[in-house]
Amino acid sequence: MTTDRQDSTTPAGGSGLAALREREWRHVLWEVSESGVFAITLNRPERLNALNFRMLREMHQLINYAHGAMDVRAITLRGTGTRAFCSGDDLKGMEPEPDIDNSRTVHHQLIAAIREIPKPVVALVHGFALGHGFELACACDLRLCADNIEVGDHRVTRALPLNGGSSWFLPRIIGSGRAAELLLTGRHMNGDEALAWGWANHVWSMDEFDERAGEYVALLARLPTSNLAVFKSSLAYSAGHGLGDSLNHELKVSDAGMVTEDATEGRRSFLEKRDPVFRGF
């Protein structure tokens, strides 16, 4: 796995893979597979992968890079080890830069970047996903989970405020009544409940998790990336608009999707009665 390190706080979008390798990464690991999966790993296992501002900025830089990188076709987020995806903000060690780091400038910027990237983002969740770690998983398009998960947002039990979108994401994922129950009581979900309520897309045993999740993400990376962007755009638009506007938006964004190389390959492979080979553009 690539473990290059970086000090700059400038987003990495467009700087190229070689430039990423020259930077200093303190709290994340990353690698790009030959199939185009950009794997980002939160790497503070001694703190159950709890977040500080440096880690949040590093993740944002990597997401920005993946946004424009032609060789990236899917992104995964996970935590080091199996005890925690992310246990939330590190209340003992956020280490903010004075007058620079706060929820609006750091947490919100990362959440927005995850939502806006035109490629599938998948949370691979082991163990705890709590507080802002829970919100990070909610911000992803899909959540693939091991059967040892304990997930939720318990900040109400400590009189701590929300700061990363639970109030927006959770009703849209599991429904308003269930979201209210989780947020107002602060209780957590296990794997069975997360699957039954639709928060987890899949839950697999720890023994088979890496294999099954790897197969799932590899499938996403083989799909037509630019067309997936059209589907993501349509889903995001429909969350805040009625049927008529959503139908018109589908037509608007689909017109661009019909002129890609992958769209041509999709039609050609259908006529030739073979499996398509998509290149991602």
Nearest-5° Cα angle at 81, 195 to 168: 40
Please answer whether residues 66 and 119 qualify as being in contact, where contact means their C-beta atoms are separated by less than 8 angstroms. yes
What is the reported pLDDT for 1?
A: 37
What is the reported pLDDT for 218?
A: 96
| pLDDT tens, per residue, the chain with 281 residues | 333 333 333 443 445 888 889 899 999 999 999 999 999 999 999 999 999 999 999 999 999 999 999 999 999 999 999 999 999 999 888 888 888 888 988 999 999 999 999 999 999 999 999 999 999 999 999 999 999 999 999 999 999 888 899 999 999 999 999 999 999 999 999 999 999 999 999 999 999 999 999 999 999 999 999 889 999 999 999 999 999 999 999 998 887 667 788 888 888 898 989 888 888 77
List the domain boundaries for the chain: 17-222, 225-271
What is the reported pLDDT for 79?
A: 98
**189-190/142-146 β-pairing:** unpaired
What is the reported pLDDT for 14?
A: 41
What is the reported pLDDT for 281?
A: 76
What is the reported pLDDT for 257?
A: 64
Dist CA 192 CA 203 (whole Å) = 8
Structure tokens at 263: 């769209």
What is the reported pLDDT for 190?
A: 98
In the sheet with 189-190, reading across from the earlier edge strand, the strands are: 84-86, 128-130, 150-152, 189-190
What is the reported pLDDT for 168?
A: 94
What is the reported pLDDT for 97?
A: 83
Q: What is the pTM of this model?
A: 0.90
What is the reported pLDDT for 6?
A: 35
For residue 84, what are the contacts with CB-CB under 8 A and spacing of at least 6? 45, 48, 49, 126, 127, 128, 129, 133
What is the reported pLDDT for 101?
A: 84
In this structure, which topology does domain 17-222 adopt according to CATH? 2-enoyl-CoA Hydratase; Chain A, domain 1 (3.90.226)
